[in-house]
Amino acid sequence: MTSTDTLSITPQPTRLPIRFGQFLPLAPPSIMLIFIFAIPMGMMIALSFRGADGALLTLDNYQRFFSDDLMLAGLWRTALMSGLVAICVTVMAYPVAYYLARSTSRWRTVVFALAIAPELAGVVLRTYGWLVILEDHGAINSILIWSGMISEPLPLSKNLLGVVIGLTHVVLPFGILSLLTSIQGIDPNLERAAQILGASRLSIIRRIILPLSVPGIVSSLLIAFTMSASAYATPALLGGAGFKVLATMVYEQVLFYIDWPLAAVMAVLLLILMLTMTLAGTRAEARLQRKLHV
Amino acid sequence: MDRLLSFAFQLSLFLILAFIALPILVVLAASVSPTTTITFNPSEWTFQWFTALTASRWLDPFLLSIKLAAIVTALSGLLGFLAAYAVAYQKCPGHETIMAFLVSPLAVPQIVKGVAIVLFLSSSGFYSLLGTPGLVMAHIILTLPFVLRMIAGAMYNFDKRLDQAGRILGATAAQRIRFILLPIIKPGLFSGMTFAFILSFNNIPLSVFLVRPGETTLPITVINHMEYSLDPVLAAVNVASLAFILTAILVFEKIGGFSTQIHGGSK
Amino acid sequence: MSSNDIEMISVTKAYGSHRAVNEVNLAIPAGEFVSILGPSGCGKTTTLNMIAGFAHPSSGDIRIRGKSQNGVPPEKRGIGMVFQNYALFPHMTVEENVAFGLKMKKRPIGEIRDAVKHALRRVHLDGYGERYPKELSGGQQQRAALARAIAPEPSLLLLDEPLSNLDLKLREAMRVELKDIQEQLAMTFVYVTHDQDEAMAMSDRIVVMQNGVVAQCGRPADIYDHPRSSFVADFIGKSNLLPIQEVQRSGKDWVVSVATGLSLRAKTPDDTLADPPQYCCIRPEAVRLTMVESDASTSANRLAGTLTRMVNLGAYFDCFVTLQDGTVLKSLVRSTRLPGLTSNQTVFLSIEREAVQLLPR
C-alpha cells in the first residue's frame, strides 16, 4: 500500500510568530478595565487593612466592624434577607419554569413575556409599585380597613416583609431563567418512561423531575442570594430608615459618615460573602451536574 | 388526584403571574389616576401628571440619563467589538485568560464596584471626574462584560471560511471586517448594545455614588424623591421612562435585527 | 375473546388541518413482532404515541386486549416501551431503573429483586446493576432500557427506533437478540423504524406507512415480492420503477409500454387489473445480465444495452445498463459470476414475465 503514502502527508506544525498587532485592539478596553476596575478594587482592599495611624497592614477596621452590634446585625440581616428571598424566588420560579419548559400551548409565549419582560421596567418602577400597594395608606391596607377586617394598618412595608416581597419580585425572572435552563435539559422521555412504567404524576415529580433539577434549584438559590445581598434600592426604599443591610450601610459610610476604611471593610465583606456563596454554589452545581448527566 | 394536582399547578401559576404583573399594573394605573387614590376606571383617567415632566426638575435628569446611556452604549459597543475581535476572532495567544480578565467585573457586585470607583476617584485627586465622566466610566465597567460576551458569542460562531472566501476574492482586512464580519455579527453586537442601554438607563447601585447635585440621573432623582412621598408624578415619570426604554429597544431591534437571533432564526 | 393485542379502528390524529395519521385501521395479533415502517413524517411515531397513550386520537378508537383505551392514561395501560434515546433515569443505577416499574406497582421487595435479576440476565447485563447509565456503553444502555421495559412483564412492548443510535455491527447483533427475547417471552412487539433492513430482519409482519396512511401491511416476503404501490416498491429494497404509458392484453400476458418507447411483457397472478397500472417494478436481482445473447426460445423479456456503470458492493455489483431507448435498468450481479465484465461493453438482459410487476400507483 505504497500509494497511500502520497495521500497522507503529515502536516508540519507551523509555529506562528506572535504578532503584537493582534493585541492592539485589546489596549483600550484593557486600560479602561485596569484603571477603572482593577486599581480601584486593589486600593479599596488595601484601604480596608490601613490603620488610622498610617499602618499599612492591620485588622483594626475589621475589628471595629465585628465589635459593633449594629453592624453585625446588619450583616446578619443581609444574610437572612437574602436567604429568605432565595427560597421564595426558587419556590415561585419552579412552577413557571416547569410550565415554560414543557408547555406547547400558544399561551407559552404570553407567559414567557409576562415572566421576563418586567425586568425591562427597572427596579425603581417596581419598588414604587410595591410601596403603593404595601404602605400604611396603600392599596392592601385601604381595602382591608374599608372592608372592616382590620382597624389599624398591617405593617407590610418598612420592614423585612416588604423588602422580601420587593426583592422576590426583582429577582424572580432570573430564578425562572436558571430553572428553565435546567428543566429544559431533562429529557421529556424520562417522564414518559416513568409514566408508562406506572408512576403517578406525584411520584414522577418526586422521583424524576425534582432530583434531576437539583442543579437548577442550586443555581436559582445562588443567583437570588447574590443578587439580594448586593441590592441597594429595594432595601433602602421598602425597608425604611431602620432597615440596614450591608449595601445600604456601605452607602452611608461613604456619603454620610465619610469613614472610608470602614466602607472598604463592608464592601470587602460583601464581596467575600458573595464569592464564597458563588464558589460553594457553583462547586455543588458542577458536582451534581457531573453526577446526573450522561 | 392527578386532576387536583393539575388544578393546584395552574392556580399557583396564575397567582405567581399575577404577583409579577401586579406592581406594574398599579404604577400604570397610578400614573393616570386623578388623585392619590388609584382607580382602574378608564373614564376617570387623566394625563395631568405627565405634564409635570416638562419641569426641569424631571426633564434635566431624564436628558442626562438618555445622554449617559447613549454614550455608554456606543463606547461599550466599540470597546466590546475591539476586545472580541482580538479574543474571539483572532484568538490571540492567551485569549482564554484575557477573556476571563475582561469579564471579571461580573463577579463583583455593583455596589462594591461603586464604592471602589468612588474611593479611587476621591482619594487619588480625580475628584473632578465625579459626575458625568465618572458615571460614564463606571457604567462601561458594568456593561462591557455583557456586550463583550454577546459579541464574542457571535464571533465564535462565525464561519472562518467566509473570511477565507472574501480573501481569495481580493478583499483587504478592513473590507472583510466591513462587508463580511460586521454584517454577520450585527445581531450579537446590537443585542449587547441594547442590553447595555437598559443597564445604564436603569442603573442605581453605581450611579448612587457618582451623581452630583445638578448632575443626577433619573432613577436616582426618583428614589431620592420616593423616600419622602409617593407623589403620583413619580408614577408618571416611571411610566414615561418605561415607555422610553421600550421605544429604544424597538429602535435597536429595527437597526440590529437581533430578534431573529434570540428566537433562534437563521440569519 | 379477541386474539388481537391491539386494534386501531379508523384512527385519525389531526394537528390543525394537518392529518398526521389518517383513518388507520390495524390489527396486531398477540405474540407477533410487528414493525411500523416508513420515512420520517409518515405518522409512525404518532401512531406509537397513541398506542402508548401520550397522544390521543382525534377520532377513532384504539383497543388493547379488546378494551377501548379512550381516556386511559399511559401508566394504566400495562404496556412497556423502549425509547429511541433509551430515557434511562440518569440519577438511578441500572438496578433502580429496572426496578422502577415494579416499585410503582408496589410489588413485594423480594419479588422485585428476583425480577430485576432475571431481566438483567436476559439482556446479558448481570453484574452491571450497580452502575449508573452514564457508565455504560451505548449498547449496554440499550440493553438496560430493554430490561427496564420487560421487567414488569407487560404483554405488549412498544419500541421507538431503539437501535438507531448504535453502530452498524452492534445493530445487527441486537436485531437477533431482540427477536430471541420476543420469541422467548411470547410478547407482542410493536417496533417503529425507518430502516427497512431492520424491519425485514425481525418482523413477523410489517406495516408500511406513508403520509399518515397504511400503504401496505403484510409478511415481509409478501411485501417485498408483491409491493402494492410504487412507494412501497421503492421504500422496501431496490427496484427499477418505470412509468407506464399504455397496457394491452396479449393472450395471457400484458404488454406494457413505457414512456420511452420500451415495451415489456408481464404476467400477473390474477387475470384482471383493478386499476390501470401506473408503474411497473422490476427488482434488480430479477434482471439477469449476460455477456452473450440468451436463447431466443425463452418466454422472458430480452433486451440489449450498454453497461454504463458498475458499482462494487463487495459480493455483488450494481450494474447500470442503458438500453437503446435511453432507459437505465439496474441489475444485481454476483461478483464471481461474470469475470471480465467491464464498463462500456454491450450486455444482454433477460427478465421473466412474472418479475415485471404492475403497480396501480
pLDDT at A18: 62
A28 touches chain B (CB under 8 A): yes
pLDDT of B180 strictly over 80: yes
pLDDT at A42: 94
Contact C210, C258 (CB under 8 A): no
Q: How many C-beta atoms surround the C-beta of residue A39 within 10 A?
A: 15
pLDDT at C301: 84
The distance from CA B151 to its chain's CA centroid, rounded to whole angstroms, is 15
pLDDT at C346: 87
B23 touches chain A (CB under 8 A): yes
pLDDT at C99: 92
A197 interaction partners in chain C (CB closer than 8 Å): 75, 80, 100-101, 104, 148, 152
How confident is the model over C201-259, as pLDDT tens digits?
899 999 999 999 999 999 999 898 888 888 999 888 888 888 888 888 877 788 888 87
Weakest mean pLDDT among A146-155, B135-144, C267-276: C267-276
What is the total count of domains within chain A?
1
pLDDT at B63: 94
A15 interaction partners in chain B (CB closer than 8 Å): none
Q: Name the CATH superfamily for C4-234.
A: P-loop containing nucleotide triphosphate hydrolases (3.40.50.300)
Candidate from B112, B208, B238 with C-beta closest to A270: B112
How confident is the model over B17-48, as pLDDT tens digits?
999 999 999 898 888 888 777 777 777 788 88
User: What is the block-wise mean pLDDT of chain A (294 residues), using blocks of 10 residues?
Assistant: 49 58 89 94 93 84 91 93 96 95 89 86 89 85 84 85 94 94 92 91 90 91 92 90 90 88 93 90 81 58
Q: Kindly tell me the sign of the dihedral angle through the C-alpha atoms of C302, C306, C307, C308.
A: negative
pLDDT of B214 strictly over 80: yes
* CA distance, residue B169 to nearest chain A CA (Å): 23
Domains of chain B, by residue range, sit at 1-46, 58-262
We report the CATH number of the domain holding residue A237 as: 1.10.3720.10
Query: Measuring CA to CA, how many Å separate C355 from each of B64, B266, C62, C268?
Result: 87, 49, 39, 9
How confident is the model over A161-189, as pLDDT tens digits?
999 999 999 999 999 999 999 999 999 99
Query: Dihedrals φ, ψ of A281, to 5°?
Result: -65, -50
Nearest to B200 by CA among B102, B56, B67, B27: B67
Task: Give CA–CA dist B157/B176, Å, rounded.
Answer: 16
Verify whether the Cβ–Cβ distance A30 to B13 is below 8 Å. Answer: no
Verify whether the Cβ–Cβ distance C89 to A189 is below 8 Å. Answer: no
Candidate from A189, A200, A207 with C-beta closest to C75: A200
Specify the higher pLDDT residue, A180 or B51: A180
CATH topology of domain C240-359: OB fold (Dihydrolipoamide Acetyltransferase, E2P) (2.40.50)
B118 touches chain A (CB under 8 A): yes
pLDDT of C38 strictly over 60: yes
pLDDT at C256: 85
Specify the higher pLDDT residue, B257 or C274: B257
Domain B58-262 classified CATH 3.40.50.2000?
A: no
Question: Which of C15, C48, C50, C54 to probe the A interface (max A CBs under 10 A)?
Answer: C54
C79 interaction partners in chain A (CB closer than 8 Å): 196
Specify the higher pLDDT residue, C292 or C30: C30
What range does the domain containing A133 cover?
A: 55-293
How confident is the model over C168-201, as pLDDT tens digits?
888 888 899 899 999 999 999 999 999 988 999 8
Verify whether the Cβ–Cβ distance A124 to B87 is below 8 Å. Answer: no
A291 interaction partners in chain C (CB closer than 8 Å): 91
Nearest to C247 by CA among C361, C358, C355: C358
pLDDT of C309 strictly over 60: yes
Contact C13, C26 (CB under 8 A): no
* CA distance, residue B235 to nearest chain A CA (Å): 8
Domains of chain C, by residue range, sit at 4-234, 240-359
A130 interaction partners in chain B (CB closer than 8 Å): 23
Question: Which of A31, A33, A140, A248 to probe the B interface (max B CBs under 10 A)?
Answer: A33
